[in-house]
Chains A and B, each alone.
Chain A
Amino acid sequence: MPSPLSPPLPPGGISQVPDIHGRFGRFGGRYVPETLSAALDQLQAAYDEARSDPSFQAELDQLLAAFVGRPTPLLFAKRLTEYAGGAQIWFKREDLSHTGAHKINNTLGQGLLAMRMGKKRIIAETGAGQHGVATATACARFGLDCVVYMGSEDVRRQEPNVRSMRMMGAEVRPVESGSRTLRDAINEAMRDWMGSVETTHYIIGSVVGPHPFPRIVRDFQSVIGKETLVFCKKELGRDPDCVVACVGGGSNAAGMFYPLVEHKGIRLVGVEAGGRSAKPGDHAASLSYGNAGILHGSLSYVLQDPDGQTADVHSVSAGLDYPGVGPEHAWWHDTKRVEYTSVTDAEALDAFDLVARREGILPALETSHALAWTVKEAARRPKEEVIVVCMSGRGDKDAAEIARLRSLENGGAHA
């Protein structure tokens, strides 16, 4: 039985998780209707088989190189570093990936898996729309049918991505239930899957959901951390001192952190959405303010009321606007391997402006959370130190929404 206290490290170290039941310490597992059990077993078997098949990895590597444009570079953020006046800030440029975010690493991998399982229809949920676009992209490339569930509030605030998905032949289904955001989109995708599971694969967009999704998504995203280590060794001759990523469901962070967790000297920091305030309903910081609970098929930290009803959450960023987080992050949190913190909407918006003007890069609002924390922290650290931020995606999708928010705030005064 899982212990409620910090569990002991597994014999192989902290990277040797999950176990065969999808447990990261006490977190993870598989809390789903029986209808989905067989499909999840099938997925696990297909994934294990794919991992031991060199031709699978070769095909994925080729796509990552020629289709996505990997490896993505590390960029020294010279003028941002000068601004902060302390540690060196480097960007791991996932925003340069095809479709503009890290999400494509996962959708290509899972798309190949779906084809191995003989499934021709793909469903996905999306918040910011980046995962939806990445899924639509993979489906167009592979010739698979694609349906994307998206909360109607997110359809509004991430409109450019909705258009891209439709152009690539995906059907976007707006979700009107609940808070009309990411959590409701996941509910609808799961309901679709309940009735279509024999012909359909669900490409979940983050390291959340029932086992084996958290592991599969993490593994496909681990290319981020692996490339970061290689680059730092080659260009800097050493590991970075600190690595930072934003945390919604936690996939860019897990992909960045997982290859680094055994490098004990590297400080790892996950940044959640602090929203408007620390009051319930005003933020989406599950690790900072939540409790252990079950949401969308796994045990992790969640924001819920004492009866177990999921709480309303808020973030200016559609991709972080989620009341749960991947179970591996819960485990890293409890074992204290990763520090989790949060920044507010306002801080993220300021970081967006700062990076746009000083680096010539529009970062995604999700990423802007990691950037906000990094600028604050770099100012406090010596110049010899190296901080790498996962630049999880680009911000073109957010430009219109940011302009709208700024004009609401300043009566249109802000440029």
Chain B
Amino acid sequence: MTSHHDPMSQAAKPLAATFAALAKDGRKALAPFVTAGDPDLDTTLAVLEALDRAGAAVCELGVPYSDPIADGPVIQASYTRALAAGFTLEKFFEMVRKATGRVKMPILAMVSYSIIYRRGIDRFVDDAAAAGLAGLVVPDLPLEESDVLDATCKGASLALVRLVTPTTPPERAAEIARRSTGFLYCVSVAGVTGARTDLPEGLVERVTWLRTKTDVPVLVGFGVSTPEQVKLLSGVADGAIVGSALVRRVGELAAEGPEGVAKGVENWLADLVKAAT
């Protein structure tokens, strides 16, 4: 099933409102990624509230998976910790329900298709919608395999955020951009997730081109960790996604308990948010 893109569809509503508000203020989106359940779900809940206070535009919540091939050592280790600490989908959705009741930023789940498939596509999407998630990012579901989930998400008013990478040929990138709802995730480097120190060559041109191919905002991720990078990206994209650097920070602060982690994360993220103009 293909659909023509409709940025104002129900599916993208909370996200569209968020991006519209940012645009009105002349700001760009700072979108943190955090692993659910690392070191435990209470901490994640506190972190989500902290990110929201710090001014995060949207948040991607990583659902731990035992075999995450797209992720580098930092996120992989956080998934392993979360699973070892007893993460389950039931507890995840329960925590998300609490979080979405307390924060104003839309929350998306970053989740392997292995997990969605096993739970059942309908059931997973129903649970996600009921918990108040704004959408899904499914990093191991390419265009060709995505029709069923796409239709199911539309039916439940969830965005299905798609990813474009440096190895994606232009024609395919245009198609992915056209079909992405909520926003488009532009992966800045080929490779697994992980913080990097500079922006890759050709990124500016690629993002500029992608923005001509879609009506949804284009956010850039993979390897963003400093206010300088955020600043640089804000000049070209609609926002920046910060993943491994934040996950590492949560890991380092873990011993300080939910409030300690939340506080450390809030201050750190606020600096990145400031740079997103």
Contacts and interface: CB of A to CB of B under 8 A. Distances in A.
A183 B164 CA distance: 27
Contacts of B190: 35, 194-195, 197-198
Contact of B167 (A1, A30, A37): A37
B119 to A, nearest CB: 7
B44 interface: no
Contacts of A197: 167, 190
A21 interface: yes
Contacts of B148: 1
Contact of A35 (B66, B88, B118, B165): B165
Given A21-B144, A306-B118, A33 B67 contact: no
A73 interface: no
A38 B114 CA distance: 21
A118 interface: no
Contacts of B118: 291, 293-294, 304, 306-308
B67 A295 contact: yes
A194 B191 contact: yes
A341 interface: no
A308 B167 contact: no
Interface stretch (B50-58, B168-176, B239-247, B253-261): B168-176
A34 B117 CA distance: 18
A198 B145 contact: no
B168 A38 contact: yes
A29 interface: yes
Interface string A144-182: 000000000000000000000000000000000110000
A296 B172 contact: no
Interface string B81-104: 001000011000000000000000
Contact of A37 (B68, B114, B117, B168): B168
Nearest to A2: B148
B119 A308 contact: yes
A344 to B, nearest CB: 25
B201 to A, nearest CB: 14
Contacts of B176: 34
Contact of A299 (B117, B139, B165, B169): B117
Interface residues of A, number: 36
A311 to B, nearest CB: 9
Given A34-B168, A194-B192, A295-B67, A29 B115 contact: no
A299 B112 CA distance: 13
Nearest to B69: A190
B171 to A, nearest CB: 11
B187 interface: yes
Contacts of B163: 33-34
Interface string A315-335: 000000000000000000000
Interface string A10-42: 000000000001000000011111111111000
Contact of A293 (B114, B167, B168): B114
Nearest to A189: B69
A410 to B, nearest CB: 36
Interface size class of B (residues with CB under 8 A): 35 or more
A32 B117 contact: no
A197 B189 CA distance: 12
A177 B191 CA distance: 19
A78 interface: no
A299 B139 CA distance: 16
Interface string B106-117: 000000111111
Given A30-B142, A34-B168, A307-B119, A194 B114 contact: no
A32 B140 contact: yes
A194 B72 CA distance: 10
Contacts of A37: 142-143, 167-168, 172
Nearest to B72: A191
A187 B65 contact: no
B23 interface: no
Contacts of A177: 76, 80
B167 A198 contact: yes
Contacts of A183: 67
Contacts of B169: 38
27 contacts: A1-B148, A21-B144, A29-B145, A31-B140, A33-B70, A33-B139, A33-B140, A34-B168, A37-B167, A38-B167, A177-B76, A178-B66, A178-B80, A187-B68, A191-B72, A194-B190, A195-B192, A197-B190, A293-B118, A295-B114, A296-B69, A297-B69, A299-B117, A307-B119, A308-B112, A308-B118, A309-B65
| 9 nearest CB pairs, A to B | A308-B118, A195-B191, A308-B115, A190-B69, A33-B70, A294-B114, A309-B66, A310-B66, A35-B165
Interface of A: 1, 21, 29-39, 177-178, 183, 187, 190-191, 194-195, 197-198, 291, 293-297, 299, 304, 306-310
Given A34-B167, A308-B115, 15 more contacts: A29-B144, A31-B113, A34-B142, A34-B163, A35-B165, A38-B168, A177-B80, A178-B66, A178-B80, A194-B191, A293-B118, A304-B118, A307-B88, A308-B65, A309-B66
